[in-house]
Structure 1
Amino acid sequence: MAIIVGSTIPDWYGDQQTGQPESDLVGTNGHPCFFMAFNGNGPQSNTDGTLAFRVRLSRESNPPGFDNVLFIGVDANADGALDLFLGVNSTSIFMAPPGSGANVSPSTTTVQTPIYTSNRVAGVNYSWDTVNATTDPVATSYDLDGNGTDRFLSFAVPFTNVVLSLAARGITGVTDQTPLRYVVATATQMNAINQDLLGPQGMVNSSLTWAALGSISEPYATILVPEPSSALLVAAGLGFLCLVNPRLRRQRFL
């Protein structure tokens, strides 16, 4: 499923704070920036399975490989505050609780030390791919901002760990049918958002709420996400990572 955040276009080009293209989230109405997929591992449990995300970035910087931080902030109880961060950096996939602030806007949000980490392994729980006819068969452009070929950054996390991490923060009863809302951002460091925010133009230091900025998604339950048939994770029994299936349902949130 493609998730488009923002009231006009999915994301502005060249609005990352430090000018690093590798941290610049890019997307249009026809070429979404943010995707999600879920493999529930069958009906036996509604708290297991694997949750995966993909974002589109401007281009690869030098040296090769993703060398910044991607945050997926999760609002699990619909109060407008972020309750957990899922993400990937230069070496690891992680889950981290938010800081002690309100976490309702960029300026009130910080990120604590991860409570879960896993080495990123290409083709298992992580991919860093060029946007092309193979990775996005329905695309009509592989370079949305004219700054070089775009890249897809994808990663996957165990849904059980998401459930347990939220429960540790007092948010219990989360299942694959629980509506979750997402905020997507990039950074150069692990403790704060300081590069790009999906949706608005810039605004990574804004005191406006996520909703006022147009940077938080509508609520979506993971179980509603169709599972793509293309698979990088078949060997691990996950069945997906690179979310490129042309049958993915593209929806606009706002």
Structure 2
Amino acid sequence: MWNVVQYGVDPSADPSEDQQTGIRDADIVGDANNPSFYTAFDDADTPLVLTDGTLGFRLRVAGDKNPSGFESAFWVGIDANLDGAIDLFAAAIEGSEVGLYPAGSGANISPSTTSIDSSNPYYEVSATSANYDFQSVNTTIDPTLTNDNLDGGSGGGGDHTDYFVSFSLPLIELATAVDSLNLPGIGSFDETNALQYVTATSNNANSLNQDLNGINGGQSSSTSWEDLGGFSEILSANGLPVPEPSSWVFSSLAGLIMLRHRRR
């Protein structure tokens, strides 16, 4: 199942053209009808095993640069015990690696106090067609699409059609990483644990220096993620909203790459 992840009152909306530089594939875009961020969960259906699924993330960006290919990093900051601090990051980095990375040594409670230790991954593999995809939005993969160019961009080379960047990783790797942190309030992590996310892009592997989802600018802000509205709604790791069911649920057809979605 795919879920649109909400920020504040709008379903996964983000201001256009608020990235730090003009890099098109680093500009997160979304509105109430064309959401910016999704999660997906594929349960392996092993009886009584709650850590054997696959967790997926998908982000909508403003286009593809020239030469083509995703050359930014898509970061998913994970607050695993809901204390307002990012504990670790999932990421797709420049279309070449997919992994899980420690948060930096700072407080990680605001943009200015957050960093990433990408040199010491908990888990990292090469991006392949099995765990990563970067393709333009269209009605085949998004039948409810109402606008394929949310920022209205044109000219300058490259492709101004919005793109989805998607990646997935084994839930057991996230569970192992979270358990190693010995976070207060968490015993043994599994798919039922509640999480909240910060999503962002960058052009390096140690900071969130391009676009922060749900926030207009703010890359250097000392205001907390919570007060900025940078945290998503609270979801369980398997994508179920906590505590109320979401009205924005999507169904998966076949694998990460050609996922189609429909509204309930």
Same fold at TM > 0.5: yes
Corresponding residue for residue 219 of structure 1: 234
Local SS of the residue matching 1:231: coil
State the partner residue of 2:147: 141
Match of 1:72 in 2: 76
- Measure, in 2, the Cα distance between the counterparts of 1:242 and 1:187: 25
Corresponding letter in the other structure for 1:82 = I
Alignment of 1:101-180 (within 5 A): 101-112=106-117, 113=119, 114-122=121-129, 124-147=130-153, 148-171=160-183, 172-180=187-195
| Contact 1:127–1:242 (CA under 8 A) maintained in structure 2 | no
Q: What CA distance in whole angstroms lies between the structure 2 residues aligned with 1:131 and 1:11?
A: 17
Alignment match, 2:63: 59
Counterpart pick for 2:97 among 65, 68, 92: 92
Deviation of 1:40 after TM superposition, in Å, equals: 1.5
8 Å CA contact 1:38, 1:227 repeated in 2: no
- 1:183 paired residue among 178, 184, 198: 198
Q: What TM-score do the two structures reach when normalised by structure 2?
A: 0.87
Q: Which runs of 5+ in 2 are unaligned?
A: 154-159, 241-248
Deviations 1:30-79 (A, max 9, x none): 11100001011114211111000110000001111111111000001010
- Asked if the contact 1:131–1:149 (Cα under 8 Å) also holds between the matched residues in 2, the reply is yes
Distance in 1, matches of 2:169 and 2:84, equals 23
User: C-alpha displacement at 1:4, in angstroms?
Assistant: 2.3
* AA in 1 matched with 2:233: E
Percent identity over the alignment is: 38
Quick one: structure 1 residues 203 and 242, their matched pair in 2 at CA, closer, same or farther if it must change by over 3 Å?
A: farther
1:246 maps to which residue?
A: 262
Structure 1 residue ranges without an equivalent (≥5): 233-239, 250-254
Which ranges of 4 or more aligned residues in structure 1 deviate by more than 4 Å?
Answer: 224-227
1:189-211 deviation per Cα after TM superposition (whole angstroms, max 9, x unaligned)? 00111000001111011101111
Deviation of 1:88 (Å)? 0.4
User: By how many angstroms is 1:224 displaced?
Assistant: 4.6
Give secondary structure in 2 for the equivalent of 1:22. Answer: helix
Q: What is the match of residue 3 of structure 1? A: 5
Question: Pairwise CA RMSD of aligned residues?
Answer: 1.6
